[in-house]
Structure 1
């Protein structure tokens, strides 16, 4: 088992570099500043409350990376809060999963939030942030149409695997669920503006550092400001 990471350790790094924590007021809510949240034993999430969210999270990311942590920026579903995922030092931040087209593209750009597999999701990956990688081959039996489905051999999105269940008839997950298959449920899907070329593999695989860095540059972009 990897080393446990504590929110208090991330707090200490940010505070030592002059950043102010967000304080909660029962009347007005959270004040401006950083806020950390424990996400299991091996991950901490970092948020910024108040104005300047984009620039502040970029600054926090820089400080934490300088302290030796891997930091994965992302944004929650439906334009929700931006945040930083900080895994324990002994945990690789993400794994990748290779999926045939057009299914990978349907996850990235359509409403597909389930991956159908013949094998059960390993428990250690439940709740993990993963890269969605489009295989070099096309599933010719799939009747899925739309834009952005013609990308092959590249990472096209980032998602969180939230769970796994067996389905006899496939109806539990809407039109995307197969019958007699394990359904791996997905959330917080963020499509990449520019797919990142990468060589895939069977099962969960570890993306090279260069691929991960290219994904990180796209998953979270600073807000534009008026001139």
Structure 2
């Protein structure tokens, strides 16, 4: 009889608004440069030929409302407010007109980033892993079912730090829509229930220090909140 040599990690799951069930997380995909103004502030152009992606470990998932320590190895820790798609049905090579059938719901999310490490890697044309795949960096609110949220349109997406507004945009500013992102990703992956897609951040990203209280909101969704703790 085989056994594990140490206890397996608890796989993360996300609360579903108004329900006793939870949404087990399978994979985390993130979309880069999906708001034109954010791409501009980062000194790059939007690639309008196709979306581009990076991935994060599901073990970076952190429920909204937690306090998490300022991460090691950085002096420039940034918030990024994001609209999150939760996949609830298999999708492979699905067309845009059918893509919403694979969507279970939506959530508010934060893609917390070691910006100095990300930019250093970008300058050397290296992967962004040290900057992006950070413990506790994929913060997420409870998921709202797609039917309860309704059509993705011009809902406001915003973020404040210690009560001061930092990011303020609309979901209609997304370069690539929900349907386009799900369809495009399904050309490269067998999307499956439990996959999350963080769809990119609007302009206004910036650094936070220990003690900062971050609050992000999207119309019709639960807010996402994070307190940045002292370094370990």
With normalisation by structure 2, the TM-score equals: 0.25
With normalisation by structure 1, the TM-score equals: 0.25
